[in-house]
A = this chain, B = another copy of it.
Amino acid sequence: MEYASMSRAQLEAERQAVAAKFESLKAKGLKLDMSRGKPGKAQLDLVSDMLTVLSKPEDCVDGKTDARNYGELSGLPCAKAYFADVLGCKPEQCFIGGNASLTLMYDTVAKAYTHGLLHSEKPWAKLDTVKFLCPSPGYDRHFKISQSFGMELITIAMTATGPDMDAVEEAVKDPAVKGMWCVPKYSNPEGVIYSAETIDRIAHLKPAAPDFLLMWDNAYCIHEFEGDYVPFPDMLAICAEAGNPDMVFEYASTSKVTFPGAGISVMASSEANIKYMTDLLSIQTISYDKVNQLRHVRYLKDKAHTLELMKRHAAILGPKFRAVLDALDKEIAPLGIATWKRPTGGYFVSLDTMDGLAKRTLALCKEAGVVMTGAGATFPYGVDPRDRNIRIAPSLPPVEELEQAIDVFCTCLKLAALEKLLAA
């Protein structure tokens, strides 16, 4: 029975039952973490053979390049070829980075700020106002990069097919709007795959800013946990065909393919952009870890071989997501107090409560020993205007723990809803 249809007496009785369950869960002294998209130990163990794939000096040589020595700032040719295969772009459009693609994203924005981009009239630091479009709910770390440079964050609503493109097209008429954050496949946190029409409209944007920066974070490009691999288009080619060859920078990494703490990353863009950025990056490093690049290429081989590995990740992740969705379907769906997406890839389940329940729900979770992503984190400045979006990250705990954690979550969500309804 939906809570909204219950009498006050029924609500009170339910509240007492749920509160009792909450206390019993709290008494267990749990310490569970559903806060971040961290792979679990079983996933890390999947790729252990990578540790020894380079074991002798001669293993470390790729063509004429000794990966152990200085040089090759933009990455080993074989690593560029690998990511070009995965992303469907050209090797010469790839710049290979270190452990975190976030660092390459930060570097791009930082260079725009300190030096300007290829088509900038001046460094963004010299401008009075810089605005950045933030499709929301979105990824907190993206928004924090923009925020750390003092940009004004503009919330764009997410729809089932990607960012609200009417709003985007209107917003880019403002020359102070300098870019947009996008996670085009299995968006963080909703798991939305941008539709072909959305992608086409993005590629054909006519921003007033000549140096509009489309941050295309393809973090989950091969990260299905249910069903078959879903192909995605080469955004670099689409933007080039649309007359915007230098507008887009695409990012990806092996963080959720091999080791989150020891992966490699890629920044892909037009050859002109890559040359421009490589010149700037030559001031800040001599090279990223090329031995790890070679280790990855020798182990992952190519896209087809990597997709086979992703199937094995899916076999571990799928049951975790199903456990979350099953619990929500069983415990929450009948009550009419929240809605959620049913992603088939990525690392999150995005849930919207009735307005005004997110903070309270997560405070209760914390009280009962379950850490979740902070309420509001998925919106600019960490403020969810309707205090309703919650990002559930089921990947880290083993299934048994996860089932406990989601039980806690459902109980807390119910309790928060009952408190609110009874206070009305």
A141 to chain B, nearest CB (A): 8
Most B-side CB within 10 Å, residue of A59, A99, A145, A261: A261
Contact with A292, one of B72, B107, B144, B262 (Cβ below 8 angstroms): B262
Considering only CB atoms, which chain B residue lies closest to A54 in the complex?
B51
- Taking a contact as CB atoms under 8 Å apart, the answer to whether A261 and B52 are in contact is no
Is A55 in the interface zone, CB < 8 Å from B? yes
6 inter-chain pairs at a CB distance below 8 angstroms, sorted by A residue, are A99-B287, A99-B288, A100-B287, A100-B288, A144-B283, A289-B292
List chain B residues, Cβ under 8 A from A260. Answer: 68-70, 286
CA distance A293 to B69 in the complex (A): 18
- Taking a contact as CB atoms under 8 Å apart, the answer to whether B113 and A69 are in contact is no
- Taking a contact as CB atoms under 8 Å apart, the answer to whether A289 and B99 are in contact is yes
Using known A-B contacts A48-B56, A103-B285, A148-B115, determine if residue A38 contacts B70 with beta carbons closer than 8 Å: yes
Is A404 in the interface zone, CB < 8 Å from B? no
CA distance A100 to B72 in the complex (A): 13
Is A98 in the interface zone, CB < 8 Å from B? yes
List chain B residues, Cβ under 8 A from A106. Answer: 283-285
The residues in A between 110 and 150 inclusive whose CB is less than 8 angstroms from any CB of B are 110, 113-115, 125, 141, 144-145, 148-149
A148 to chain B, nearest CB (A): 5
Is A367 in the interface zone, CB < 8 Å from B? no
Is A259 in the interface zone, CB < 8 Å from B? yes
Copies in the complex: 2
- Taking a contact as CB atoms under 8 Å apart, the answer to whether B48 and A57 are in contact is yes
Is A2 in the interface zone, CB < 8 Å from B? no
A134 to chain B, nearest CB (A): 15
A126 to chain B, nearest CB (A): 8
Is A422 in the interface zone, CB < 8 Å from B? no
- Taking a contact as CB atoms under 8 Å apart, the answer to whether A114 and B149 are in contact is yes
- Taking a contact as CB atoms under 8 Å apart, the answer to whether A51 and B41 are in contact is no
- Taking a contact as CB atoms under 8 Å apart, the answer to whether B66 and A41 are in contact is yes
- Taking a contact as CB atoms under 8 Å apart, the answer to whether A69 and B100 are in contact is no
Considering only CB atoms, which chain B residue lies closest to A264 in the complex?
B289
Considering only CB atoms, which chain B residue lies closest to A56 in the complex?
B48
Is A291 in the interface zone, CB < 8 Å from B? yes
CA distance A291 to B48 in the complex (A): 12
List chain B residues, Cβ under 8 A from A41. Answer: 57, 66
- Taking a contact as CB atoms under 8 Å apart, the answer to whether B103 and A284 are in contact is yes
Is A67 in the interface zone, CB < 8 Å from B? yes
A17 to chain B, nearest CB (A): 38
Using known A-B contacts A68-B262, A113-B114, A144-B283, determine if residue A99 contacts B98 with beta carbons closer than 8 Å: yes
Is A39 in the interface zone, CB < 8 Å from B? yes
Contact with A102, one of B259, B284, B291 (Cβ below 8 angstroms): B284
List chain B residues, Cβ under 8 A from A283. Answer: 106, 141, 144-145, 148
Is A290 in the interface zone, CB < 8 Å from B? yes
Is A175 in the interface zone, CB < 8 Å from B? no
List chain B residues, Cβ under 8 A from A255. Answer: 70
CA distance A262 to B293 in the complex (A): 10
CA distance A290 to B290 in the complex (A): 15
List chain B residues, Cβ under 8 A from A285. Answer: 99-100, 102-103, 106
- Taking a contact as CB atoms under 8 Å apart, the answer to whether B69 and A39 are in contact is yes
Is A71 in the interface zone, CB < 8 Å from B? yes
Which are the 3 A-B pairs with shortest beta-carbon distances? A262-B291, A106-B284, A68-B259
The residues in A between 265 and 295 inclusive whose CB is less than 8 angstroms from any CB of B are 280, 283-292
CA distance A51 to B60 in the complex (A): 10
Considering only CB atoms, which chain B residue lies closest to A70 in the complex?
B260
CA distance A285 to B149 in the complex (A): 15
A182 to chain B, nearest CB (A): 19
